[in-house]
Structure 1
Amino acid sequence: MFYTEDRLNNWIERIKDEELDLESGKGLEVFDKMLDDYIIACLNLLKSIREREVTKKDALKFIEESKPLLDRSYDVGDDVKAELLEMTKENMKVVAKGLELTIAGKVSRKSFEKLLEDAIKKEKSGDLEGAFEDMAKMAAKALAGERLPEDLEIPDEDLFVIGWLDAIDAISTVHHLIEIDRTEVEDDLE
C-alpha cells in the first residue's frame, strides 16, 4: 500500500492535539510535516518502481485507492485547523496528480515559469480544473527531480494556484534534503 488510512489518521490525531497560535506560527509546522510525509511516500513509490519492486500499473492502482482518503472530511475539533487541513489535502492532491503524470511518463517540457503563468491565466478565467492540471504538471517535474527555480516570480494575489505552489516548493525541498542525506551517507561510506 502506498499511503494508508492509518498513516493519515496519525496526522489527524497530531493535528487535533496540536496547539495553534497563528500570531507566532506555533503549531503550524504539523501541516507542513504532513505534506512532507506524503511527498516522501510518493518519492518512495517512484523509487520502488525504479527498483522494479512495484509495476507502474500497480503504483497507479495504489494512488487511485488512496484518493478517497484526501476527499474525506475529518473532524479536528477547530475551524482554523479544519481550514488548514483542507489546504494541506488540496496540496496533497496536486502532488498525487503530479505523481500519476510522472509514473505515466508525462512530464511536461514546459518551464516551471510557463506552467505557472498558464495556471494563473486559467484560474483568472474561471478554469480552476485547468489551473490544477498545470500545477500538477509542475509537481510532476519536481517529482522527476527538476529543481524549482529560486527566482520564480510569484504574483502577490489571492489565488488557489499560489497556495498549490507550496506543494511544488515542498517537493523541491524534500528532494533536495534527500540528496543531501544521500551524499552524506555516501561520504561516510568512503
Structure 2
Amino acid sequence: MAEKNMPYYEFYSKARWDNWISQIKDAGFSLEDEEKAEKNAMIFVNMADDVILSCLKIAARYDKGVTDADGALEILGSIQDIVLEEVPPISEDADIMIMSVQDSLNCSMAAFEAYFLEDYDKKADIKKLIKEAGAAEEKEDMDTAFITVANIGALVIGGAPFDEEFLTILPEESIVAEWLDGIDSIAAAMVGTDSYKNFDEVDDED
C-alpha cells in the first residue's frame, strides 16, 4: 500500500497556485521600474518557496514511513501537474519571471523524485557535482546537467549541507546556476524551519 491510513491532507492545490498568479497580475510586474520590480520580485520567491515547502512535507511523510516511494511520487506528480502547466500570458516581463520559477521548480522537484527513488549517490561531493553540471552545460549536454543538479538536490533533502559559496562556483547567468537557486531554496527552507516535519495531518482548507 502506497500510504498508510492517514487523514487526508491537501499538500498543494491549483487554487493556491492561481492565487500567486493573480498576485503577479495585480502587481503589474515590470522590469523597467527597478524599485517596483525589486519589491514585487518577492512574489516570485514566495510562490516558489510555497511549492518547495509542500514538497518537503511529502518528504517528511516519506521519512516517517507514512508513505512509500510510490505514494510520495504520486503526490509530487499532482503538484508538478499544477505548477509546471503553461501559464496564460500576462506581460513579457511577468511571463519571463514565471517561466524562470517553473524551470527552477522543475529541477527542484526532480530532486525530490530522485530522493524518493533513492536514485542518487549518497556519498557524492556536492562541489564536485556542481562543477560537473557546469561542464555539462558548457558542452550543451543539458540532460546530464539537469540530472546532476537534481542529484545535488536529493543530497540536500537527505541532509547534506548546501553552502552559500556553492552558488558562486558558476556564472550567475548559467542555466545550472538558476537550477541551483532552487536547490538553495530547499536548503534554506530546511534550515529556516522544521515545522514541515510535524505539520498538521488534518486538512482544514476549504
Shared fold per TM-score greater than 0.5:
yes
Q: Secondary structure at the match of 2:81?
A: helix
Describe the superposition over 1:98-139 as per-residue Cα deviations: whole angstroms up to 9, x where unpaired.
001111123432211111111111111111111111111111
Q: Which amino acid aligns with 2:23?
A: R
Q: Is 1:158 paired with 2:173?
A: yes
1:180 CA drift (Å) = 9.3
Which residue matches 2:98? 85
TM-score (ref. length: structure 2): 0.80
Alignment coverage as a number of residue pairs: 182
Match of 1:44 among 53, 57, 61: 57
1:167 and 2:182 equivalent?
yes
Q: Provide closer, same or farther for how the CA distance between residues 57 and 155 of structure 1 changes in structure 2, counting only shifts above 3 A.
A: closer
SS in 2 for 1:151: helix
Equivalent in the alignment of 2:4: none
Alignment match, 1:72: 85
The CA deviation string for residues 134-177 of structure 1, in whole angstroms up to 9 with x for no partner, is 11111111222222123324233532111111101111111110
Find 2:27's aligned residue among 12, 15, 18. 18
| Structure 1 counterpart of 2:88, one-letter code | D
Asked if residue 32 in structure 1 is aligned to residue 32 in structure 2, the reply is: no
* Identity across the alignment (%): 23
Alignment pair present for 1:101 and 2:110: no
Q: Which runs of 4+ in 1 moved over 6 A?
A: none
Contact 1:16 1:76 in 2 (8 A): no
Gaps of 5+ in 2: 1-9, 198-206
Give the whole-Å Cα distance in 1 for the aligned partners of 2:185 and 2:174: 18
Find out whether 1:139 has 2:153 as its counterpart: yes
1:179 shift after superposition? 4.4
Match of 1:7 in 2: 16
Compared CA separation, residues 47 and 179, structure 1 to 2 (3 A): closer
Aligned match of 1:130: 144
**Structure 2 CA distance, aligned partners of 1:142 and 1:178?**
15
Q: Give the partner amino acid of 1:4.
A: S
In structure 2, give the amino acid aligned to 1:33. Answer: N
**TM-score, length of structure 1 as denominator length:** 0.86
Q: Distance in 2 between matches of 1:6 and 1:54?
A: 25
* Matched residue, 1:188: none
Structure 1 residue runs without a partner (length 5+): 183-190
Is 2:127 the counterpart of 1:113?
A: yes
The amino acid that maps onto 2:42 is E
Q: Are the counterparts in 2 of residues 99 and 139 from structure 1 also a CA contact under 8 Å?
A: yes
Q: Which has the higher contact order (CA 8 A, sep 6+)?
A: 2
More deviation in 162-171 or 146-155? 146-155
- Matches of 1:179 and 1:157 in 2, distance apart? 29
